[in-house]
A and B are shown apart, each in its own frame.
Chain A
Amino acid sequence: MREYVKRIVLLSCFSLLAVFSYAEGDTHSEINETLNNTLPAMTQALIKASYKEKADIIDSIAAIEDPNKLLILQSLLDNKLYYQKKNKTEGNNHKRILLVDMSLVKSGKPNAMLDAFDQQEVTGLSKRAVKRIGVNNALRRNLRSHLSLLKITHPDASTRIAAAQNLLKDSSAIDLKFIEKTLKKEKNPQVIDILKTTRGLMLLKSEQATIRLLALEELDGSLYPEVRIELNKFISAFDEDSKKQRSDELKLAEKTLADIETLMTYNGYAENLYFGLALGAVLLLAAIGLAITFGVMGVINMAHGEMIMLGAYTTYVVQMLMPESIGASLLVSIPAAFLVSGLVGILIERSVIRHLYGRPLETLLATFGISLILQQAVRSIFGPLNREVITPDWLAGTFMVNPGLSLTYNRLYIIIFSLVVLAVLALVLKRTLFGLQMRAVTMNRPMASSMGIRTGWVDALTFGLGSGIAGIAGVALSQLTNVGPNLGQAYIIDSFMVVVFGGVGNLWGTLVGAMSLGVANKFMEPVAGAVLAKIFILVFIILFIQKRPRGLFALKGRAVDNG
């Protein structure tokens, strides 16, 4: 009944609009009039409609022939379809429909607002004068499947792949013939694969048992998550009677599912390994700097986490300074963060730490104090709220190994980045004069000093180097987690854990330590849960340190004794 009333209301809406447009038709051309009766009129109806009514309107928009409908539907999906709140100057209830890009409006750039139908720029409207036509999840899904049908013939292959994936997700609205027709024309192997899977899923719902059996064979070994969803549905739909009657089908379906699950288990191992390496890379980045300040110099630096935080805030500031190019700003922030954190590190070393060499307890307390000072300083300057660091597009998304295993790009980049940082650092230590001096000073200070090395400055620069690398870690972490005053706190314990486990004073130890802790954590997590996994790791390290107090790769010789 309610549905019926809504229909009537909608119909009368349309007819009213038609009347208005008819009244206008006197002055406008014939073409304009037909336009008013179709896409623009329906778009008008969207303004007042409830979410349920909007679904009907979207369906009817998708059904009409209009070159503009793709743009309108896409804008609606992208939250770019707006209307002007107050313009009834034309003597009817028509509101002007606009395509608005709010980010352009905020930065005051041209072409921020366009008329939805003639694409002419509209100026002189503030952001409060327009209101967005909202969509919810159900509508978004609906829009996406309509758009996919339109885009499956798009010339660009990646657009077609995305469209095909959407069709796979929601195959209920598609015509089987349409898929066959598209398959014939399609050349891209990936699109063909996805469409064939889609066809298989559709055939699974067929009335004929033979077709269903064929579909099951077609689906064997397919790793798309949708296939598992549909197979599970298929199997759970069997009741006692049909289990007996169609036992061959059930058996085949169960076997197909079991095959896929086996493949997925291997995928699961690969995924866990990747997750572990990614976690290890984060630990490595956080710990490398500490491997120098704590590992090489022996300074228990509780402010290490805050150096990471400073790096993350530097990323934020750089991004504020160059809002045009988010991607480039990230690259600029790497040296910037190194300098900022490095200089702060040198300052701390010169003003506080150098007076406390050989007094570990006082160093610990002093650096802990510094960490609190830095946190509160950042809180006073930037405020207590987290800051927004935008992720550039090339860092988002996944790299598809197979349909059931996708690796996220941001983690992939961080793994590579952490290894590059480690390699560069190793080079600096092994191949440069500064590296040589640094090693000399840590091994035997009086001797190095008598050779003419200014040990004081080497200390300062070493501390600066360690802090600067912590700053670089901050750049990477800003892409993964919150940029806030407490960022560093979350990583300080983990960093010490890695350095102690890997062996104090050894970069390779840090690498192996970080990666093995990361992988161990990730393989334990699905079994034990995140909280317990972390506890197990800590217990393991405590036991390990009892057995090997100097960590995995202990340095031998005088350096250790001189500490």
Chain B
Amino acid sequence: MTTAAVILVFFIAAAWTEFSPEKIAAGIPRIGEYFGKLFSIEPKGSAHPIGVLALPHLFGGVREPQSIAYWFYRIGTYLSLLWQTIEMAILSTALGFGAAFALSFPATRIFVGSGTIVFVTRRLLEFMRSVPQVVLAFILVWPFGIGPLAGVIAIAVHTTGTLGKLFCELNENVDLRPIDGIRSVGGSWLALMRLGVVPQVLPGFLSYALLRFEINVRSSTIIGFVGAGGIGQELKRVIGFNIYEEVSAIVILILLIVVVIDLISEQIRHRFIGAQSFNAATS
């Protein structure tokens, strides 16, 4: 019964989106052709496209087709843009962490007497994480101009929303005894938070922030599609101008950087934060 409904809805949705087997069959050769072009070049003076790499020329100079240097001849530009992408991720994660940290305390019911404050902060966080960040970046490009600033703010806002919710959940599970202890000697609300809560939750917060950093590196690579800086802006340009071999070069670099960041961040999580609090934070 459920299976039938799932299949029925699939066919209705497929018809709605004009998704038909004929179109796919017609499209697949073109996809193959396109991916073939991504890995082939047409050097000056030669009529036929050749593979982007060939073993005898692999380590040739910049002017020798089919060498790594020829394929990645704009590596300097790419690397500086990749570095900008990572810097965008660092800054937006840090800003989002700061804002989420500040907002997570008023959003936790057990810390705040007034239900209104909790409700308003929670709705604010929900709104921040619900608006797609690429849409936000597209909108912010209008006031802030083309460039990384709009992207950083858009990712920071989204990070605030997602981290704020997670921080809130950690806050709700704190041990209340240190707080009672500080209250009994007359600590103010800020002192309760600073000395009673923060030491308990900070490892979890940092662990979440690192996980978020990995996600933000991915986001920074695409936020440039709407003109908001980073390697995405260059990728959109070369795809638009059909500079095929540069598309594959940039895509490979993006894949590499994502894998490298994931590995580094995993190492940091395991080494500095410890397996125990990491498990507590993700489960």
B and A form one assembly: no
The chain A residues found within 8 Å of chain B, CB to CB, are none
